[in-house]
């Protein structure tokens, strides 16, 4: 029997992988359905995997969630709908190390929180979201972990450049990154992204790491005489895995270099 064509519900799930190359079932549920739909989504993912529209990665441990990416037939199907997608090589997706997947899923959680923010805040819309695994297909030399283009009441643009920090980078490479970001913000960013709007958000899981990043960024800006670029940067501790959109973007969680007052990531 021939494999069935995707239904409208299947297409909704498959298209989410054009923005987020790797997703867990829980993340698909948050993106596409209500909280009570987890079993339904799990069954959909199982069927799409069996028919090779999706591919399920091997797990290193039983405690790690199953992670999915597009399969051979999913790539072909979405291309037939006009999506521009890279070639699929199954051997590249058999297994990824836990650090890569942990970082990727954390980026997903942040971007998914952004995408769902307008549901409870009608004055805010999301004009565009880009994931680093998609941006890496471009020729850019400096690439964010994620990029979000918010519009406030349809006329004010706020663009967030995400740097998801998992606490693995030492001071020297981190300060080198800050220097590169500062330079790119004034030389190239607006041309590549089509806007001068830019807030560089360093998101990290712990309070201690947030304070450490705050210190390092201040030191780098001071040593390079770039204190005038301080307002580009925000450092925040992401509260937990299931991020509350209003808390992440609208609550005062962020530190600005050379300041100790907490600020929201988006100031409406």
For the chain, the structural domain boundaries read: 8-95, 101-255
| Host H or E run for residue 127 | strand 124-131
Q: What integer pLDDT is reported at residue 2 of this predicted model?
A: 55
Task: Please give the Cα distance from 26 to 36 (Å, whole number).
Answer: 11
DSSP secondary structure of 164-190 = E--S---HHHHHHHHHHHHHHHHTTHH
Nearest partner of 31 among 245, 221, 178, judged by Cα:
245
* β-pairing verdict for 67-70 and 254-255: unpaired
Residue 4's pLDDT band (cuts 50, 70, 90) = confident
What region, left, alpha or beta, does residue 82 occupy, with left being phi > 0 and alpha being psi -120 to 50 degrees?
A: left
pLDDT range class, residue 1, cuts 50, 70, 90: very low
Residues in the chain: 268
pTM over the 0.85 mark: yes
DSSP lists the bridge partners of residue 67 as 24
Residue 139: the pLDDT is 59
Please report the pLDDT score of residue 94 as a whole number: 59
Say what the pLDDT of residue 242 is. 64
Q: State the pLDDT at residue 240.
A: 65
- How many Å apart are CA 67 and CA 105, to the nearest integer? 9
Condensed to tens digits (0 to 9), the pLDDT of residues 202-237 reads 999 999 999 999 999 999 999 999 999 999 999 999
Q: Is the pLDDT of residue 113 over 90?
A: yes
How does pLDDT run across 64-92, given as a tens digit for each residue?
Answer: 889 999 998 999 999 999 988 866 555 55
pLDDT, tens digit, for every residue of 142-188? 899 999 999 999 789 999 999 999 999 999 999 999 999 999 999 99
* Residue 241 pLDDT level (bands cut at 50, 70, 90): low
- Residue scoring higher pLDDT (149 or 238): 149
Average pLDDT of the segment spanning 247-265: 95
Reading the block at residue 215, the tokens are: 């210190």
pLDDT at 88: 59
Of 26, 25, 12, 129, the closest CA to residue 74 belongs to 12
Report the percentage of the chain scoring pLDDT > 90: 74
Nearest Cα neighbor of 218 from 254, 173, 255, 184 is 255
Q: Give the Cα separation of 236 and 245 in Å (integer).
A: 14
Q: Which residue has the higher pLDDT, 136 or 88?
A: 136
24, 127, 133, 179, 249 from 76: Cα distances, Å: 21, 27, 19, 41, 36
User: How many Cβ atoms are within 10 Å of 88's Cβ, its own excluded?
Assistant: 16
Report the sign of the C-alpha dihedral through residues 70, 12, 138, 151, in that order.
negative
Q: How confident is the model at residue 198 (pLDDT cuts 50, 70, 90)?
A: very high
Q: What is the DSSP letter of 232?
A: G
- Write out the CATH class of domain 8-95: mainly alpha
């Amino acid at each position: 029997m021939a494999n069935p064509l995707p239904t409208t519900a299947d297409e909704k799930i498959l298209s989410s992988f054009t923005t987020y190359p790797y997703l867990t079932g829980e993340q698909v549920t948050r993106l596409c359905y209500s909280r009570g739909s987890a079993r339904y989504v799990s069954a959909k993912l199982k069927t799409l995997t069996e028919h090779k529209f999706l591919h399920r990665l091997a797990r290193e441990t039983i405690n790690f969630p199953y992670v999915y990416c597009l399969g051979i037939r999913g790539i072909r199907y979405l291309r037939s709908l006009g999506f521009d997608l890279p070639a699929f090589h199954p051997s590249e997706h058999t297994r990824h190390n836990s650090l890569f997947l942990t970082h990727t899923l954390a980026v997903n959680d942040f971007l998914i929180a952004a995408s769902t923010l307008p549901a409870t805040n009608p004055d805010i819309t999301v004009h565009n979201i880009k994931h680093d695994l998609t941006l890496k297909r471009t020729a850019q030399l400096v690439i964010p972990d994620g990029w979000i283009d918010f519009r406030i009441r349809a006329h004010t643009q706020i663009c967030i450049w995400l740097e998801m920090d998992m606490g693995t980078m030492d001071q020297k490479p981190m300060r080198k990154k800050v220097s590169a970001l500062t330079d790119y913000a004034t030389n190239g960013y607006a041309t590549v992204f089509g806007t001068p709007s830019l807030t560089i958000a360093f998101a990290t899981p712990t309070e201690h790491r947030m304070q450490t990043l705050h210190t390092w960024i201040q030191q780098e800006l001071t040593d390079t005489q770039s204190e005038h670029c301080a307002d580009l940067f925000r450092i925040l501790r992401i509260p937990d895995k299931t991020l509350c959109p209003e808390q992440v973007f609208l609550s005062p969680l962020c530190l600005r270099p050379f300041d100790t007052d907490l600020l929201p990531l988006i100031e409406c």
